[in-house]
Amino acid sequence: MQALTIVPILAVLILVHELGHFLAARLFGIRVLEFGIGLPPRLFGMRRGGVLYSINAIPLGGFVRVVGEDSHTLGPDSLQTKPRWQRAVFFGAGAFMNLLLAFVIMMTLVGFRGEPQFHLYVAEVVPDSPAARAGWQPADRIVALDGKPVRDASELVERTERAAGRPLHVTLLRGDERIDTTVVPRENPPPGQGRTGIRVVIEPAARLTVATVQPGSPADLAGLRPGDRLVRVAGYPAEDAAVYFLLIQQHAGKAIEITVERDRQLLTVTIHVPPSTSGETPNLGMTLRPTLVTAPVPLWRIPLEAARQTAIMVIQMVQGLAMLLRGEASLSDLAGPIGMGQLTSELLAISPEPAWVTLGHLAALLSINLAILNLIPFPALDGGRLFFVLIEAIRGRRISPEKEGLIHLIGFAILLTLMFIIAFADIGRLLSGESLLR
């Protein structure tokens, strides 16, 4: 049933997209014949101000029908007789509204949810490396470089690169102990080791709650129960999933103390961690449910942070599309409405966020996806129509409306065929039990 959540999400995204075209048409005096929600056949409609507002049977689309899109009507209120820049704005207005919607969604999420706090950990230290000589250990949290906070792995790499060959003061957090160290990043490190000789992991801050306990497992024998909240692991605050797994791996084959909160009381148990096999994290026989911890964002920063996150999603979407065109990504990764429903269900099942946050992120991502895909210069898409306007501007005269209409008709047929192929692939994925999050 969670998969059906995608239906109202897609309906809103498409409605907003078509609203962009509708508002642009009204702004430039282009007569709107019909504003349709869903795709034909029509169920019912209502006429207001000369516009037919219709509800259609297939709830996965929408359209705005204007005078002149058939290439034959050339009156003053026709799309065909409007200046190039007005036609370009009309064709691009839907994508603009989807980008604006994504920004508004991100502002809402940032404003009400806050922003996650990320922790950067040392996951592995290469023997005889600068980090090893400085005394770094797995599960150490990297807090600051030269007294300045470090937020993510890319910032760590960049600042370490700049410090090659000179002492770099690094502040670590080991359990509750704050440790100041000095490391000298290598100018010519061995291949695959990096300048300091460490591997890092980054993880958002989260409260960890025991979700399930397997009977007869080490966790069960130690007395852990579903609903217990982890407070400390081997003396370290249990502030995210990364430190838990790093410490479990570090104590493979040994006993470890875990403090949990149960019924508002603290309880410390000793668990005998199984030996590690093939370098994998030992299995204690319990699953954890993380609940992300966020920090409030000042009002003045909310639009800036929302714009930053929206821009990141746009860049990632463009990069993903470029990889697909270059053959670096599989066509099996494409998904239609059915696949999006499957994705929604899977995300809701594994996300540590509240459902409204997960669905908000998904809606913003799909809104950006809809905007970018519609701007691809392919016939029948908004980008294809914008491309014809660009050709007209370069040539100084228009391509025959009849020829352009025929090209868009062929493009529309190709798009419909592609939609059916993707739908069959989505159904096949569902029947085989294959996940979209593999």
Cα–Cα dist 12/18, whole Å: 10
Contact 143/178 with Cβ under 8 angstroms? yes
Q: Are 436 and 338 in contact (CB under 8 A)?
A: no
Look-up of token digits 């993880």: 203
Is 161 a catalytic site residue?
no
* Residue 207 main-chain phi, psi, to 5 deg: -85, 135
Distances (CA, A) of 298 to 115, 301, 308: 11, 5, 15
DSSP assigned state of 266: E
Residue entry with tokens 């852990």: 224
Q: Which residues partner with 417 through β-bridges? A: none
Phi, psi of 164 (to 5 degrees): -55, 125
Select from 159, 275, 167, 260 the least CA-distant residue to 218: 275
Longest dimension (CA), the chain: 83
Neighbours of 222 (CB within 10 A): 20
Spatial separation of the C-alpha atoms in residues 161 and 397, rounded to whole Å = 54
Query: Which one from 18, 69, 203, 239 is the annotated catalytic residue?
Result: 18
Are 177 and 140 a contacting pair, CB within 8 Å?
Answer: no
Which tokens belong to 9?
């999400």
Residue by residue, DSSP assigns 284-314 as -SEEEEEEE-EE---GGGHHHHHHHHHHHHH
AA identity, residue 414: I
Task: Please say whether the dihedral angle defined by the alpha carbons of residues 237, 238, 242 and 246, taken in this order, is positive or negative.
Answer: positive
Residues annotated as part of the active site: 18
